[in-house]
Amino acid sequence: MTESPTHTDESTTDVPGIGDMFPALTVETSMGKRSLPDDYEGQWLVLFSHPGDFTPVCTSEFVAFEQRREEFEDLNAELLGLSVDRVHSHIKWTEWIAENLDVDIQFPIIADDQGTVAQQLGMLHPGAGTATVRTVFVIDPEGTVRLRLTYPMEIGRNIDEVLRSLRALQKSDDDGVAAPADWPNNEKFDDQVLLSPPGTEADATARKAEAADDDDLNYYDWWFVTRDQ
């Protein structure tokens, strides 16, 4: 007899995963009420949680996100923060950042003081108390979750990686290709992209002939073909 797997509290909340539609939520933010994901329809949304306001690592992250905000906007992406703090805490914190670090945070922060949003999104982990761990959701213009990253509380996020992932997802959507490791700065393949493997023997045979006639294709085997940008 096979035993049923043991689930943690996080897994019982239907946490959205990659490929799932982001759940419809109405949230209070430091810049007013937002309806997710509807208010961001037609745009990419980068939603990220932090353990708490007035903490050193979180402060460094918010400064880093704001300093790169225009790069996200150039990719048709909006930033949205979240923690289990009240609106007035978010406001005082962003005022502190402006006064002491000379950075004006211009994206909203969800006030989830009851922890209901964080719980629904799996941002509260066992052992972390009521603090939200460093989770990133990348949601596409149709409201589908395309990426989820989770960092431990003591390590700040790499904003370059969030931007790289967003660019790679958009490249994949636009051109029907995949991005290799470290794209677009792969040590072996530079900024080349990967073609999807053929699905049939006939397609595999045709792929080799196609590569022979196309200088932009680099044929290693029928299942491993890169393409120059």
Catalytic residue chosen out of the listed positions 58, 82, 109, 118: 58
Q: Is 176 considered catalytic here?
A: no
180 prior amide bond cis, ω within 30: no
153's CB contacts (< 8 A; 6+ apart) are: 51, 57, 128, 131, 133, 134
Q: What angle do CA 136, 140, 142 make, to 5 degrees?
A: 140
Buried b (16+ CB within 10 A) or exposed e, 19-35: eeebeebebbbbeeebe
Evaluate whether 66 touches 105 at the Cβ level (below 8 Å): yes
For the chain, the straight-line distance linking the first and the last C-alpha, in angstroms and rounded, comes to 53
Residue type, 28: E
Identify each DSSP E strand in 103-216 by its residue range.
109-111, 134-139, 145-151, 193-194
Query: 27 has which bridge partners?
Result: 34
Determine whether 15 is exposed, middle or buried from the number of CB atoms within 10 Å of its CB (0-12, 13-18, 19+).
Answer: middle
Task: Name the residues annotated as catalytic.
Answer: 58
